[in-house]
Structure 1
Amino acid sequence: MSHLSHCSTTAHNHSWKNNRVIYYVIFIGIALLSLINRDLTPVNELKYISIALESLNGQHLFTFYNHGEIYADKPPFYFWIVMLGIKMFGVQGGIIWSGLFSILPMVGICEIFYRWTRSELQPHIALIATLALLTSTLFFISGLVLRMDMLMAFFICLSLFHFYQAFERHNKNLPVGILPYLTLLSILLATFIKGPVGLMLPILSIVIFLISKRQLRSFFCFFPLKGLLAFIIICMAWLYAVYLEGGTEYLYDLTIGQAVKRGVNASIHREPIYYYLKSAIAALQPWTFLLIAGFISTWKNRATISNQQSLFITVSLTGLMMLSFVSSKLEIYFLPLVPFIVFTGFIGLQKASLKKTTHDAYWKWGLYPIAFITTILSVVAPLFFSKALAKLPVQINDLYWIFAILFTTGVSTLILLKKNHFQSACRAISLGVFSIIFAVALLVPKYNEVLGVKALAQEAQTQYQQYGEVGYYTYRYSTGQNMDVYLKQNVTTLDSPEELLALKPGSVIITKRNHDDLLQAFSDNQQTPTFVTQIDRYSVVVK
């Protein structure tokens, strides 16, 4: 008998291992530790805090600016959350508050899918599917950063969960109640968080699913006219508020401008059409091989695909095609599809495990490569690639800790697989990922100078106070303006040597990888900086 089947009869002897809430609590604790210990990344996280501060200072709710320039890339909802956190708890407390809106939606998605698939998956397989989702690379990284993507993914998943509940009730001739309105509300919130993806992904998936079930005529059962009208009125009211606050230019940039910038002819993040097929391999690690085995099983058992599994596949394929045909591509845009892909794979694995001829085979095909690669990588990398590892901005002893965790995880998984303990092997892999995240959370303070700019800002503040508080400037480093979060005043960007030379003595200049250019500009005009220091790839110079 497969150990997977045996586990269901002995779960009461290992109840703590099968309690998903314990894993949620562990992950939330590790995520909060990481958030407290690390600096914000300057490109996105620090920028969002800076935009929120600018909105609070300018007292505008519907239009957003990054140092005076229109920032219409995102709708308002996430910025309202950040602004509320800063208002209630200050900047540092607001950062933790904002982080919770990545961490908690992540756990929320896991719980939605655990509950959603209770009729499809046995409890022990539902648990390991939940752990696999929680520890998938793209999914857990997205839960550890200050971004709106996880919150949007939560409402997309919630909208489709409510739709499926309504669909099942409709097929049983039961009243759907408020479920269609909850579906629309979730889509509205997803749209207000991230924009078109939050609107298009659930609606397109639902329409294609209904077509595949030959039930498109039931569309208005799931999208009642009153709900659709309310949805449109709220969206129009939002756009009108944007027009009143930001004028025609902002409204154009928010709608048509964003469509051109990202959708049709991308000026940013332009990638080939196959981008997501390639990036999915990394995004789903360490479970990629196991999920591929699950997909093969799903294909071989396609005659027995349930409505739920059919919806998961529809969402995955619809989302993949929609995102692939959008010109602008980033790996994180793939995030809302990850839960559907992971649970599709595990439903397929369960179907294989229930067949006498294949009950163990698919698990072995999927798990042995993970265990072998993890074990071999942890040994080969430090032995044969020590010179390459030494070039990384990480202390070698810290890397050895990570390799030790990988080795322990790989060997433990191999031992469990040898005994056909597949559920325990999956748990070992998940705990290995938890251990790596925990180790990184403990080690990250050493590398905050590489990750963020807080130490850089503190050095700039010290020199600013010492040399007369003239002003802060960045030289050919536009994202440095977001350091106003730490410096508590505006930072002016300089792009030419002429602007640099015109500064008053005592001006504090921050640059990134332009240290030599800056000093050369002073030297060419017979000027010598009063103070120069370098912090990692950044420099602080006082004229």
Structure 2
Amino acid sequence: MKANKYLLLLLAFLPLLFFRDFTPDNELKYLSIADEAIRYGNFFTFTNHGIAYADKPPLYLWIVILGKLLFGTHSMLFLGLFSIIPALVVLYVMDKWIATEADQNSRLSAQLMLITSGYFIGAGIVLRMDMLMCMFIVLALYTFYQMYTGKDTKWSSYLFPFYTFMALFTKGPFGLLIPILSVIAFLIVKGELKTFGRYWGVKAWCILLAGSAIWFTGVFMEGGYTYLHNLLFNQTVNRAVDSFHHKKPFYFYFEAIWYSLAPWSLLYIGVLFAGIKARLIKTDLEKFFLTIITLTFVGLSLVSSKVEVYMLPAFPFFAYLAVLLLKKVNQSKFVSALIAIPLVIIGAAFPAIIILSRIKPIALLNTPLIYVLTAFLLVIAVLALYYLYKQRNLNKSIYTLAAGLLITIFAGSFFIPSYNEYIGYGEMCKTGEEIARQKGIDSFYFYNSGRMENIDAYLKRDLKELKETDLNKKQCGKAILFVRIKDVNRTPSLKKMVEGKQKIVKGDCFIIIL
């Protein structure tokens, strides 16, 4: 039964991974970086169009490179498995972790809530290293807790530092700091800090330092001191103190947490605060989960660089601590309201779309699919409310909403190809190559915006950049220009340059024949 549950969850997301295009922001960049690494034979150091890319450790880029070498092309399905499978591993480990503390129905509720929480599900279907890091952090913390409670095996003392190193090797400093600082904070809470050496002794530090030494030696041999300094200081200390990227105010996560965990954020946070107020957090497991949440939340708030997905390692503990506390919070009306509010909002999407489509025509709203899916969610919301208030069955209401969201994702995935030209640049490049073959064109240009420099991953050739300073004097000859429509409209010199040229619209972009 357990295997069937995880298989069904995997199948719910596979069509989305099979049909969708790569997004320009990060996914396409990783493909371009991997192609460059293969071309130049780099293993530890990477470049993006000749510019050093020390932002991330090599593990995830190795996976991208492996996929290209195995299949001869970049496979969305293959790479997507390294996001969704780690997400399922997190569900499995967390379920196993609280098995003695919660009944089967409550544990299933926790799993379904977590897998349908906004940024958790998002990290499970995008091609990033965040879910992989989250998996290693959860494994590290679970292994520590097994050691703490005396349920460890002979391998636990090796696995704990290994998982911690792998978290570091996947995403960087957060992967190292969250497991180590969570353990320190928990031991302080328990008044047992003097036992820290039992978990982080000579053996653990040797494993961590040996892995880091191999990595940094490889970096130094390939990229020299400059790249190593960039990796160790510019991408860690500088981003933490005064970030050059994703700089946000201290309170950023206090706002982001509400939509990052939707539609369950009210339930998670409401039950958590109710539990703290009533002093219901009493077991070691509950204290450890709360410590992880607090340390991660506060620690990340102190760091200058902030993105919603950085909070991902705390999300499993939000969901599972809420479930542990639900049986203790004796406020049925309060808890019901925390679920009913998002149900009403979800149910209201269908009439809202009907009203919006009549007020202002929007291309996306003119497709029958949107009406079918939102009407389905309205039925799901009504059914979940019925279970919540008429049958007084909280778990059944949670099952209904979560299943409805998963079915919506599964069904909607089959229509993704119709929207791919708005998601990524694959359709644009395919059309551009067809035009080039028909007209005997060999030169491709892109305008310097929207991450278009990375479409070389599609075209398998170098492109030339058309810069704004060149617009009044650039003679491109016979060529194809890829440019976003909004860049043409807001740049007078670009608009003048392409005036009268043949333009093909693909999503939000022009393919212009020069």
TM-score, length of structure 2 as denominator length? 0.94
- The answer as to whether partners of 2:33 and 2:48 remain within 8 angstroms in 1 is yes
C-alpha contact 2:137 2:163 (8 A) present in aligned 1: yes
- Aligned equivalents of 1:368, 1:218: Cα separation in 2: 45
| AA partner of residue 28 (structure 1) | L
1:335-354, aligned counterparts within 5 Å?
335-352=312-329
Indicate conservation of the 8 Å contact 1:473/1:510, yes or no: yes
Deviations 1:284-339 (A, max 9, x none): 11112222342144224525511111110000000001110111111111111100
1:173-184 mapped onto 2 (5 Å cutoff): 177-184=154-161
Structure 1: stretches of 5+ with no match in the other structure: 1-18, 353-357
- Conserved in 2, the CA contact under 8 Å of 1:135 and 1:430? yes
Distance 1:533 1:209, change over 3 A: same
Counterpart residue number, 2:197? 220
Deviations 1:38-85 (A, max 9, x none): 111011111111111111111110001111111111000111111111
- Counterpart of 2:56 (choices 59, 62, 74) is 74
Aligned partners of 1:109 and 1:157 also within 8 Å: yes
Would you say the 8 A contact 1:20–1:127 is kept in 2? Answer: no
Does the C-alpha gap of structure 1 residues 24 and 36 become closer, same or farther in structure 2, counting only changes over 3 Å?
same
Question: Can you list the C-alpha shifts for 1:152-174, whole angstroms capped at 9, x where unaligned?
Answer: 000000000000000001xxxx7
Partner of 1:240: 217
1:109 shift after superposition: 0.2
d(CA) in 1 for partners of 2:382 and 2:489? 49
Aligned equivalents of 1:48, 1:265: Cα separation in 2: 25
CA contact (8 A) 1:467 1:506 kept: no
Quick check: 1:378 aligned with 2:349?
yes
CA deviations over 1:402-446 (Å, ceiling 9, x no partner)? 221221111101111211122111100111111221233122211
Supply the distance in 2 between the matched residues of 1:521 and 1:349 (Cα, whole angstroms): 59
Q: For residue 461 of structure 2, give the secondary structure of its aligned residue in structure 1.
A: coil
**Is the Cα contact below 8 Å between 1:261 and 1:268 reproduced in 2?**
no
Cα 1:70–1:132 change in 2 (3 A) is same
C-alpha RMSD of matched pairs (Å): 2.2
Q: 1:247 offset after TM fit, Å?
A: 1.6
User: 127, 130, 134: which is aligned to 2:115?
Assistant: 134
Partner residue, 2:404: 432
Shift of 1:501: 4.3
2:242 aligns with one of 265, 269, 283? 265
Counterpart residue number, 2:303 = 326
The Cα offsets for residues 229-277 of structure 1, whole Å up to 9 and x where unpaired, read as 2311321221121111012221121111113542111122111111111
Matched length? 512
Aligned AA for 1:178? W
In 2, the alpha carbon distance for the partners of 1:175 and 1:515 equals 62
- The corresponding residue for 1:395 is 366
Matched to 1:514, the amino acid is D
Give the stretch that moved more between structures: 199-208 or 21-30.
21-30
Aligned partner of 2:35 among 45, 49, 53: 53
Report the AA paired with residue 531 of structure 1: Q
Whether the aligned pair in 2 keeps the contact of 1:390 and 1:396 (CA below 8 Å) is no
Rate the CA distance shift 1:509–1:233 in 2: closer, same or farther, 3 A: same
What letter matches 1:185 in structure 2? Answer: F
State how far apart, in whole Å, the 2-side matches of 1:62 and 1:87 are.
17
Q: State the one-letter code of the partner of 2:338.
A: G
Alignment of 1:341-490 (within 5 A): 341-352=318-329, 358=330, 360-375=332-347, 377-387=348-358, 390-391=361-362, 393-417=364-388, 418-477=390-449, 479-490=451-462
Aligned-pair CA distance for 1:359: 6.9
Give the 3 Å change call, closer, same or farther, for CA 387–258 of structure 1 in structure 2: farther
Structure 1 counterpart of 2:95, from 104, 114, 118: 114
In structure 2, relative to structure 1, the CA distance for the partners of 1:365 and 1:530 (3 Å cut) is closer
Residue aligning to 2:226:
249
Distance 1:304 1:487, change over 3 A: closer
**Aligned match of 2:131 in 116, 136, 150?**
150
Query: 1:110 & 1:460 partners in 2: Cα distance?
Result: 43
- Aligned with 1:416: secondary structure? helix
**Residues of 1 paired with 2:352 and 2:35: CA distance?**
44
For 1:508, the equivalent position in structure 2 comes to 480
Correspondence for 1:37: 19
What letter is aligned with 1:466?
A: Q
User: Could you tell me how far apart the structure 2 residues matched to 1:340 and 1:398 are?
Assistant: 35
Cα gap change, 1:273/1:20 in structure 2, threshold over 3 Å: closer, same or farther? farther
CA spacing shift, 1:163–1:75, aligned 2, 3 Å: same
Paired residue secondary structure (2:42): coil
In the aligned structure 1, how far is the partner of 2:152 from the partner of 2:511?
A: 66
Structure 2 distance, partners of 1:186, 1:176, is 15
Q: What is the CA distance between 1:175 and its match in structure 2?
A: 7.1
- The SS at the match of 1:474 is strand
5+ unaligned residues in a row in structure 2: which ranges? Answer: none
Structure 1 window deviating more from structure 2 (508-517 vs 61-70): it is 508-517
State the distance in 2 between where 1:400 and 1:188 align. 47
Q: Quote how far apart the aligned CAs of 1:92 are.
A: 3.8
Normalised TM-score (structure 1): 0.89
Partners of 2:237 and 2:197 lie apart in 1 by 31
CA distance in 2, matches of 1:92, 1:50: 10
Counterpart AA for 1:420? R
State the Cα distance separating 1:499 from its structure 2 match: 6.6
Q: Secondary structure at the match of 2:504?
A: strand
| Distance in 1 between residues matched to 2:447 and 2:456, nearest whole Å | 15
C-alpha contact (below 8 Å) 1:162/1:179 kept by paired residues? yes
Q: Mean alpha-carbon deviation: is it higher for 494-503 or for 199-208?
A: 494-503
Match of 2:78 among 97, 100, 103: 97
Shift, 1:536, TM fit: 2.7
| Residues 488, 494 of structure 2: 8 Å contact kept | no
* Aligned-partner Cα distance in 1 for 2:500–2:353: 43
Q: SS of the counterpart of 2:328?
A: helix
Is the alpha carbon distance of 1:367 and 1:389 closer, same or farther for their aligned partners in structure 2, counting shifts above 3 Å? Answer: farther
Q: Distance in 1 between matches of 2:155 and 2:186?
A: 21
What secondary structure, in the 3-state scheme, does the structure 2 residue paired with 1:420 have? coil
**Post-superposition shift, 1:401?**
1.6
One-letter identity of the residue aligned with 2:36 = E
- Say whether the 8 Å CA contact 2:12–2:407 is kept in structure 1: no
Aligned twin of 1:10: none
